[in-house]
Amino acid sequence: MDFSNSLLLWYLGNKRDLPWRNTTDPYPIWLSEIMLQQTRVAQGLPYFLAFMKAFPTVLDLAKADEEQILKLWQGLGYYSRARNMHKTAQIIAFELGGNFPNNYNNLIQLKGIGEYTAAAIASFAFNEVVPVVDGNVFRVLSRYFNVATDIASSGAKKEFTALAKELIPNDNPALFNQAIMEFGALQCVPKNPNCESCIFNSSCAALQKKKVAELPVKSKKVKVTNRYLNYLVFLDNDNNTIISKRIEKGIWHNLYEFPVIEAESELNFETLLNSIQNRYSEHEISSITAYNNQQIIHKLSHQKLHINFYKVVVSKKISNGIPLNSLRNFPFPIVIFNFIEKYSI
């Protein structure tokens, strides 16, 4: 088909030189695909290089300590990806003899590997004729073929996968999948694409119908929850402080944080003082002062976090405390790590 041939020619002349594209080894391909979920290539590339240096094989990753993995992952977000990646590495290394499943149906059985990732690994590493369908592919196909199906609807994935299957060449599925994703990332971008320079400007249905800005259709909107977090940096005379690992499910699972007082709305300073005094009276608090004058806003996919940090000086030695200068050895959520760096904690 003209679409597929034109797309492949465009890709060969415009593709970015990315390390996971220069191999058919499923390990770096898998690593890159997990990292690039919900993440731009520019942001994910340094993490990929750091992981490949620290864990050159799937066995190295499997044998690593989870805290070491989370520390390297710090700032990439969606930390469940890292935890699932570690578990899958252990399955591959210790149960499958270090060998990745070589087909889509078996890959998708592994933890953290969904339809898109399984298709990507199966085609890029094993040349299986299976199309990848991610946000870029939704956008390219919906615009080129004028498909107004809501991509958030239950049947959208099946419809777009069927369309992609009609287009993918049996003799080179890996190249086609790379090409259509790259085209969506570089040319057919979400906002204000340069349609004048597009190779499909004479055949794209959305362009002919002046519907480029309307496609793809995505009607569902994420409900955002506001959370108010007041972090307490305890300090005794020996410069020891308190941190703990978040063990409950939810955001930042298995990452570290300072003691926190969470509220349903922003607390005034007097109310917060009373809460700290009542909850932590055993520490013999000497003073409480704010680090940040302006509230820190940290946005996640479904949550908007309103964060303040407070220095809590205590006269009593903190039992089981950790030295302040050792904080950088622990994996923290990036917003807390940035605070530690900014204030040289």
33 is catalytic: yes
Contact 199, 154 (CB under 8 A): no
Write down the H helix ranges in 237-345: 269-279, 334-342
Sign for the pseudo-dihedral over CA of 275, 281, 287, 292:
negative
Element (H, E) at 7: helix 2-14
How far is Cα 116 from Cα 137, in angstroms, rounded to an integer?
11
Task: Name beta bridge partners: 260.
Answer: 231
Closest CA to 172 of 220, 115, 124: 124
How far is Cα 212 from Cα 315, in angstroms, rounded to an integer?
64
How far is Cα 38 from Cα 44, in angstroms, rounded to an integer?
10
How far is Cα 109 from Cα 120, in angstroms, rounded to an integer?
14
Which residue type sits at 11?
A: Y
Q: How many other C-beta atoms lie within 10 A of the C-beta of residue 298? A: 16
How far is Cα 125 from Cα 128, in angstroms, rounded to an integer?
8
How far is Cα 13 from Cα 248, in angstroms, rounded to an integer?
48
Element (H, E) at 289: strand 285-290
Q: Could you list the active site residues?
A: 33
